[in-house]
Structures are given as structure tokens and as C-alpha cells.
Amino acid sequence: MLWGGISFDPDRNWMYVNSNETTNFCTIVDGKPDEPFRFNHAGYIQLLDPEGYPAIKPPWGKMNCIDLDTGEYVWKEILGEHVELTARGIPKTGTLNFGGSVATKGGLVFIGATADPKFRAFDSKSGALVWEWELKAGCNASPCSYEVGGKQYVAVAAGGGRDKVESVSGDEIAAFALS
């Protein structure tokens, strides 16, 4: 499931979207008579291994670029890291992610969204991770970009506390100037 939305490059007609690559068990139930849907779901349960990680082969979170003219992926990159697994010699796994991205005219895609408290920038053309900054809490909000006095900034709320990604709670708003 994706809750954060997408970002878009109108010059290339490319869409940037993060994804969770995990397995869930859903229960479908009859809808109530006053609901617009005949069926509904009674929630979902993530299928986890005994250590609490997704019970399928990683990566569990990705940042993706899709060419909207062809429908093909331009690139896919792992999004997020369980540092405790990396420390055990396991390559980056990605994490569950909830939050969207923002694409800039200068060729960067910024996103938080992950279980780790990092805010990242990907090269919009290649998908290469070009920058990351660790905040005090998770960045499950979608970032924004704005301009003041001819200078561009990107900001994100680092409030964390999202139960599905088990991020640390906080109350920080971080803004970064782009050069």
C-alpha cells in the first residue's frame, strides 16, 4: 500500500513513487448496508518472520521511476535500511515506507517515508542516491519545495511515530537549501 502520493517530472513525463514490497494477509467482509461498497476489509496483518521483519526475500521498500509514455520502469532503487541487519552483513533490505516524494526541476527526488530517520535525495534520471541526512525522528510526511529570495529549499516534517514503520517520534521540521 502507498499512502504518500507520487511526484512527477513533466519534462520527461516520469513518475516517482515509493512502494512497499511485502506480503499482507487481508480479511474481506461484507459491507454494511449504508456503505457504498459491497465488500470491505477488516484490516490486514503483515506476514513477519520470528525477528519481526517481512517474511519474504528483500528488498522490502523501493523508490521507483516509471516512464508514463511507455509504462516501463526507468529505475528501481532500495529505499530505507535496517541498520541492525546491515551491521550483521546483510545487504540493504529497504523498509516499509509511508510518505511521498517531491521532484525538483534541478533533477533531484527527495523522500523520507522509511522506518529509519533518514531524508534522502535520488538523482531523478539515474536513481542514484546522491544525499541523505539523518534526522531525530522518522519523516513519514511528504516533503515540500519552496523558494525564498531566489533560493530553493526542501522541507520535511520529522514527526515519526508511525506504527506501521515503527519510527521514533519527534517534533522537528527540517529545511535544506539547494545549491
Q: DSSP letters of 60-73?
A: -EEEEEEETTT--E
**152/14 Cα distance (integer angstroms):** 22
Q: Is the pTM of this model over 0.75?
A: yes
pLDDT at 161: 66
CATH number of 7-21+58-135: 2.40.10.480
Q: How far apart are CA 170 and CA 161, in angstroms?
A: 7
- Characterise 69 by phi-psi region: left (phi > 0), alpha (psi -120 to 50), beta (else): alpha
Contact 55, 23 (CB under 8 A): yes
pLDDT computed for residue 1 by the predictor: 42
C-alpha cell at 149: 529570495
Per DSSP, what are the bridge partners of residue 62?
A: 19, 78
Angstrom distance (rounded) from CA 150 to CA 134 = 27
Q: Which residues of the chain have pLDDT under 70?
A: 1-3, 161-167
Q: Any idea how long the chain is?
A: 179
The answer to whether residues 145 and 154 touch, using CB atoms and an 8 Å cutoff, is: yes
Helix (H, G, I), strand (E, B) or coil at 82: coil
Cell digits for 120?
534522502
